[in-house]
């Protein structure tokens, strides 16, 4: 069965420092991976995805993610953190199903706190 793990409940980073939010996955076949962000009292917003191709994927708000097949990881990164990046981040992997109606398997989420 497909699964996603986010090993850190919370990550604390000082503003201006690089940040990494970790995600590992377990799938049969090629993974389709997603990162979403959730701000307080809001729905989830799509950040970026990996389907195929370049292992470094760039997304919204200056975020990027590195796909590593040998380590089955898809870590979210940003070179210089902003206080406004503080939010809840979710990693997800596409489950099997028809292309027109796939389902997502979600990690438990990582709370990112950026301190001024």
Binding site for another protein (CB under 8 A): 9, 32, 34, 36, 41-46, 49, 51, 90, 94, 98-104, 106-109
Nearer to another protein, 5 or 15 (CB): 5
Q: How far is the CB of 86 from another protein (least distance, A)?
A: 17
Nearer to another protein, 9 or 54 (CB): 9
Q: How far is the CB of 115 from another protein (least distance, A)?
A: 22
- Secondary structure, 3-state, the chain: CCEEECCCCEEEEECCCCEEECCEEECCCCCCEEEEEECCCCCEEEEEEECCCCCEEECHHHCEEEEECCCCEEEEEECCCCHHHCEEEEEEEECCCCHHHCCEEECCCEEEEEEC
Nearer to another protein, 46 or 61 (CB): 46
């Amino acid at each position: 069965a497909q699964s996603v793990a986010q090993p850190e409940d919370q990550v604390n980073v000082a503003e201006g420092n690089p940040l990494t939010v970790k995600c590992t996955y377990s799938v049969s076949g090629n993974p389709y991976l997603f990162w979403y962000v959730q701000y307080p009292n809001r729905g989830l917003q799509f950040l970026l995805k990996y389907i195929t191709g370049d292992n470094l994927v760039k997304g919204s708000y200056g975020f990027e993610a590195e796909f590593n097949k040998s380590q089955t990881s898809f870590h979210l990164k940003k070179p210089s953190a902003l206080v406004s990046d503080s939010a809840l981040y979710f990693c997800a992997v596409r489950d099997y199903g028809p292309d027109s109606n796939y389902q997502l398997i979600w990690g438990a989420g990582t709370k990112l706190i950026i301190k001024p």
